[in-house]
Structure formats: C-alpha cells, structure tokens
Amino acid sequence: MQEDLILFGPPGAGKGTQGALLAERYGLLRLSTGDVLRDAVQRGTQLGLEAQRFMNAGELVPDSVILGIVRDHLSGAAAQRGVIFDGFPRTLPQAQGLDGLLVQLGRRLRAVLVLDVDDDTIVKRLSGRRSCPTCGAVYNVYFEPPRQQGRCDACGAELTQRPDDAADTIRRRLQVYHAQTAPLLDYYDAASVVVHRVDGERSIEEVQADLAPLLLP
C-alpha cells in the first residue's frame, strides 16, 4: 500500500526547505498547496483569482478548493511513489477529507513530521525570505543570503518578496496557525498516527539530518 507523509509546522518553519530536500533524496512528490496556489495566482487562472485575496490577507483558502487540488494531484502518476504533504492539511475538514481520499485511493498515512519553531524565529525567517521568480530558489537575508544582494545565485534574476510575508500578514498567519492548524496534532494523536516532533530551530542541515532517517523503510 502506498504510504504518504505530512510535513507539519507553522508558516516559515522550514516545511518547503526540508520537504524539497526529502523529496529529492527519496524520489517522493512534495505537494505544497501553497505552491500550487501561487502558481495559479501567477498564471491568473480562476483558482488563482479566487485564492489570491485569502492568501494576501493571511487567511485560509476554503477547504473545498484545497481538497480539490489535493484530489487532482493524488490521482496523478507522480504521486505513485509517495507524497510529502507540505502545508496541508490545515483544518479539521481538510484532515478528514484527506483520510477519505486515502481510503478511496488505497493509500495510508505513515507519519506526521512536526517542525517546532518559536514565533519570534518565524517572524525573522519570513520577513527575511526572498525567492527567485525565475527558478524558484529560496534565500533568506538573515540566514541564507545570496552571494550578490537581491540576485539569485543560480540564474541571476532579481529576487522578490512574497506579498504574504509583510509584517501584518505574518502575524495573522501565525494566529490562524495556532487557532486552526496546530490542534490537528490532537486529531492525529487520537487516530494513533505516528507524530514525530523535530526541533526546527537548528540549521537546515541539522534538521534534515533528524528528518531523513525517519523516512527509511
């Protein structure tokens, strides 16, 4: 039976950074609902138009929209080797919807990997994040600066800041996380899903060294 993982934690905990490394290492699909939504916003699709106002305000996109995205990706060929969910589920209806999809598709949840990071660190990480609009590389002006200020090391493009990384929006995203998403850990505990907690305050390499062995068969 196909086994999937959830990478869990507050905004800026390092889910995208760690998920990309794990996906490459183990040949898994990283399904970031945030990335799918940002791509839709950039392309100006109906989904993007619908999602943009929620994202820019730091609010959650409606559950039905998110579950539709996940259903589409889970049915695709790329999901056959296993999926790392990044930024999903974020609400109880999403977690329950995922359970239903996994049963329908003959898959199971192997574990929830939690990155524990303090709110003060989150604010610094998100306010310092810069991304390359051309190749997708992610930097941080405080922790992982590019060699040339404001320019991507890989392709030289001018780096941009996510609209939802503005100070007010970061605070709202954290409130939403604590109110709606963090309680899902109780849901998984009650369902006897394995929950591994990792100290996400350390360097990218140290966190990766803790996570990677958890994915071994």
Residues at the site binding ligand AP5, with contacts judged by CB under 6 A: 9, 11-17, 32-34, 37, 54-55, 58-61, 66, 87-88, 90, 94, 125-126, 129, 138, 140, 143-144, 164, 173, 203-204, 207
- List C-alpha distances in Å: 45 to 39, 40, 157, 162, 214: 9, 6, 24, 19, 37
How far is the C-alpha of 94 from the C-alpha of 115, rounded, in Å? Answer: 20
The smaller minimum CB distance to ligand AP5, of residues 4 and 164, is found at 164
Residue nearest to ligand AP5 (CB): 34
Q: Concatenate the DSSP letters of all residues of 107-123 into one string.
A: EEEEEEEEEE--HHHHH
Tell me the closest approach of the beta carbon of residue 122 to ligand AP5, in angstroms: 8
Min dist. Cβ of residue 95 to ligand AP5 (A): 10
The residue among 82 and 93 lying less far from ligand AP5, judged by its C-beta, is: 93
Q: What is the CA radius of gyration of the chain?
A: 17
Overall size of the chain counted in residues: 217
CA distance 127 to 120: 11
Distances in whole angstroms, Cα of residue 56 to Cα of each of 49, 172, 199: 12, 10, 29
CB 130 within 8 A of CB 141: yes
Q: How far is the CB of 148 from ligand AP5 (least distance, A)?
A: 17
Tokens read off for 141: 């002006």
User: Could you identify the residue written with the tokens 């993007």?
Assistant: 48
Q: DSSP state, 125?
A: H
Q: Which is nearer to ligand AP5, 79 or 94 (CB)?
A: 94
Closer CB to ligand AP5, 66 or 83, in the complex: 66
Burial of 164: CB neighbours in 10 Å, binned 0-12, 13-18, 19+: buried
Between 42 and 143, name the residue whose CB sits nearer to ligand AP5. 143
- What's the rounded Cα separation, in Å, for the pair 51 and 164? 12
Which residues are designated catalytic? 15, 90, 129, 162, 173
